[in-house]
Structure 1
Amino acid sequence: MKTFFIVVLVLFILLISGIFVFLFTFDANKYKDLLVEKIEEAIDKDVKIGDVSLNFLPALSLHIDEISVKDSNKTWGDTILDAYSINAGVKLIPLIKKNIEVQHLSIKELIINIRGESSVSLKPVFRDIELKGAMTSGDIVIKRLTGLVAGGHFSAKGTLEDVFLRQHLDVDLALKDIKVSDLLPEAESGMPQFEAKLNINMQASIKGLDVQKSLDTLVATGTARIEEGVLKNVNLLNLALSKLSSILPGLVEELRAKLPPRYSELLKQNYSAFKPIETDFNIKDRKVFFQETKISSDAFYMIGSGYLSIERDLEVSCDLFIPGDLSKAFVDEVYELKYLQNNQGMITMPVDISGRIPDVSVRPDLDYAMKRLAVATGERLLKSIFRKEGPSDAGASDPDTGGSGETQGQEEETQRKPEPEEVLIRTIFDIISGSDK
């Protein structure tokens, strides 16, 4: 019995020694061709792998210095994806049999080159990626995927079905505190630049692991919240009013000169700051669509619908509203603006926003404004024709009351009912200007 235990102990020591010898003398680079073959089979792209090494502490893993992926018709200077410092936790027995089964994956840095129709590409940089999953019958179950991107972080879970053929991915994705400016090309000095923090929760479906194919087939629904939004180098309210200067020359200058300091400062700002924005959205055909989204600032708010494409093309149709107190201040200084007010006393006008970010134009509907302001001109003209002259002594003082004729006239004007011709005039111009007045 003693001899038996000695034999078992010796065999155990030999086994452990053999494993250590295997680990220390193992040339992981022999597996490069196998790794390249498996990755190329999965994504149908050219793959290049740097040095490969085997680590056994704290757990058995393959370490890869670098992986690059490109289209077959491109050079290695024009890659789709570049990943650095990759660690893949693997199982020992399959590895000895020259098979690789990954239990855990971590990537220090990942750069994805997203190319649209424009010459400028998006290159989001992902860091500290951690993936825990399992593979069953050709499917990969993503138990947990986390990482950092654009100053924030992301997390996801889902299933990748038929990884070597159909490649259908269903995933729940959350993005938190993403800096929008980090995902956009740097704007030239003085050009508009949007800064904000973005939070997203969405459910997405993707077919194919190729970057471009994934974007083409991406379908998703979700909610977004935008915080700390600032559009630098553009005052949207000032811009909208400046466009009206072609109809009312000197409008902005007159408002700046006459408005109380609180309001005139709003026109002097070289930026537009936004309150938190919340919206539902859906993604298809490489575009993010949103409906009836409210965008608010201290000086105005807009309600609009439109889309933003992966190529950064922006198309939004919206209505701009200036709050009642600010609208009243505008009307007190420039009477013609009264004809742009709605039933709630807010100056309002349709606005179109379009262009390729950062080269975006804001265009108020001047036809709408001209139609409304034509009412003011026409109304004054017809009133001058129909106006009835008052008594010749209307301006005389009333000795009995001690008041002036002007004060009495103002009281009578306030209390009197509109004359029939005034009602007729308003009806005519209501019809001309449309029922939306």
Structure 2
Amino acid sequence: MKHFLRVVVIICLLAVAAVAIFLATFDVDRYRPQLLAQLQQALGRPVTLDRISLGWREGIAVQLQNLAIYEGPQASGEPLIQIESAHGVLELMPLLSKRVHIASIVLVHPRILVARDAQGNINLMGLMAAASPAAASGQTGAVGDTPVSFEVASLRIEDGTLHWIDAASQPPLELTIDKMDAAVKNLSRGKPMDVEVRGALGSKTPNLRLSGRVTPPSDASPGSCERLKLTVDDLPLEQVLPSRPGAPQLQGRLATILEGSVSTLDPSQLTRALEGRGTVKLAEPIVANLNILREVFQRFSMLPGLVERLQERLPPEYQAKLTANDTKLSPLDVSFDAAGGALQFGDLRVSTGDFQLAGAGRVGLDGMIAIRATLRIEPVLSAALVKSVAELQALTNRDGEMEMPLTIQGQAPQVAVMPDMNYLASKILVTKATDLLGELLRKGSDQESESQESLLGNILQRALQHEE
């Protein structure tokens, strides 16, 4: 028995040695030109590959070095995907039954390009190339006349980079997610697979986490994503929002959670297919290059030079509130619904020490903003403003707050704050006309000969002169 076991051990050692010699001496790289030709024909795009090699990692390991796929007709510019190293471990036993069973595929240091053109079309080819091993699991091909099934147990991305270019944004926007690790499990053809991604966006350490159950696109379905959960922590907004020198920009440190689904992975419908709910928290928020109060008062066309009059008459401590370049806000904590390509805010409240904005609106994933709100200025500042310009008394409510409806609209970063001019005109001019009417009626007792027509004309004339 001992002799028999010794023979078995020797045979196993010889087999391992034979495999080792084979892996060390077999030059698989000589097949690289044929592989490149087949890849380029299948993809219809230029492909470059530096080397193919074999090794042993608990199975036969096939390694590709510096694989890149390009968008244009030439292998130039930024690749759709560039992978420093990719290796897959083949299990030996399934090969005997004509099954290619890959225990794992690992992409090391991939750089993936995702772009949106000026017309809003999203190019996901680089991302699809990275995920193609997962989508190919369960497929059947042929080697010569022999059918061979292809299965992948898991796919991992280690220390990757995702580069996003948005030409539809004005100005064009570029974002980079670094230190990206991803894992895809439960790979089975036509069935949802579990995806987990983490990376660093605008941060030196990972602050973004994404998970969901993804059904890959196929000939019969555009694909979908269920149980989607996105979490972002401590993201500096000024590093990820489009900006122009001197243009308004929302700054602060963002934390958000979104849970929902994506009904289709068709790139042309992707943003509108997102549905879900979430929360947004913003610490240390500042609207840079925009003084909201000054912007509102500058649009009072019925009171020309209002800002200048206020700056001349207000006490120094209140003048600074109109001369500041930025608007510092209190921390935000709001809920939203994601639908129709936008984030819908049903109860949006923004405040400073001087005023509060309360309203509702939407922020589109394309950067379009449309918010309707009511501005209420706190009573002490309202009293100082009214004391400086008496006509503003018409805008105060029972609590002594100046109150007015307004809209915030535009394509970021070109956003305008627009008070409701019809409301302002009706409040200020009607109040002024009422005061003038009372004044003229008091004078009317001393001027009984004045006709009703001239009295009305006098009222209108003085009101209109005040509007000018």
Task: Give the TM-score range, shorter chain.
Answer: 0.7 to 0.9
- Matching residue of 1:185: 242
Q: Which amino acid aligns with 2:293?
A: L
Which runs of 5 or more structure 2 residues have no equivalent in the other structure?
103-151, 445-468
- Matching residue of 1:241: 297
1 CA distance for matches of 2:424 and 2:328?
25
2:194 equivalent among 128, 142, 165: 142
2:338 equivalent among 279, 283, 287: 283
> Post-superposition shift, 1:379?
2.5
Return closer, same or farther for 1:17/1:366 CA change in 2, 3 Å cut-off: same
> Post-superposition shift, 1:293?
0.4
Q: Which amino acid aligns with 1:129?
A: M
What secondary structure, in the 3-state scheme, does the structure 2 residue paired with 1:270 have?
coil
1:176 is the counterpart of 2:230: no
2 CA distance for matches of 1:40 and 1:339?
74
8 A contact 2:395–2:403 mirrored in 1: yes
Q: Which amino acid aligns with 1:175?
A: V
2 CA distance for matches of 1:310 and 1:177?
20
After the TM superposition, which residues 55-94 of structure 1 pair with which residues of structure 2 at under 5 Å, given as runs?
62=63, 65-68=66-69, 70=71, 81-82=80-81, 84-85=83-84, 87=86, 90=89, 92-93=91-92
1 CA distance for matches of 2:389 and 2:37?
71
Return closer, same or farther for 1:197/1:378 CA change in 2, 3 Å cut-off: same
After the TM superposition, which residues 12-411 of structure 1 pair with which residues of structure 2 at under 5 Å, given as runs?
12-21=12-21, 24=24, 25=26, 27=28, 48=47, 50-51=49-50, 62=63, 65-68=66-69, 70=71, 81-82=80-81, 84-85=83-84, 87=86, 90=89, 92-93=91-92, 98=100, 100=102, 101=152, 103-107=154-158, 108-114=160-166, 116=168, 121-138=172-189, 139-142=191-194, 144-151=196-203, 153-161=207-215, 164-165=218-219, 166=221, 167-170=223-226, 171-187=228-244, 189-244=245-300, 246-387=301-442
RMSD of equivalent CA atoms: 3.8
1 CA distance for matches of 2:348 and 2:10?
74
1 CA distance for matches of 2:58 and 2:384?
70
Return closer, same or farther for 1:63/1:225 CA change in 2, 3 Å cut-off: farther
> Post-superposition shift, 1:369?
1.0
What secondary structure, in the 3-state scheme, does the structure 1 residue paired with 2:239 have?
helix
What secondary structure, in the 3-state scheme, does the structure 2 residue paired with 1:133 have?
strand
Which runs of 5 or more structure 1 residues have no equivalent in the other structure?
390-437
2 CA distance for matches of 1:45 and 1:317?
49
* Higher strand fraction (1 or 2): 2
1 CA distance for matches of 2:67 and 2:229?
28
TM-score between both structures, scaled by the size of structure 1: 0.74
8 A contact 1:81–1:111 mirrored in 2: no
> Post-superposition shift, 1:367?
1.7
What secondary structure, in the 3-state scheme, does the structure 2 residue paired with 1:124 have?
strand
* Aligned residues between the structures: 382
TM-score between both structures, scaled by the size of structure 2: 0.70
Cα deviations by residue, 1:251-309 (Å, 9 ceiling, x for unpaired): 22232233333322111111112222222222223222212201112332211222222
8 A contact 2:274–2:341 mirrored in 1: yes
Q: Which amino acid aligns with 2:229?
A: D
Return closer, same or farther for 1:195/1:22 CA change in 2, 3 Å cut-off: farther
8 A contact 2:90–2:101 mirrored in 1: no
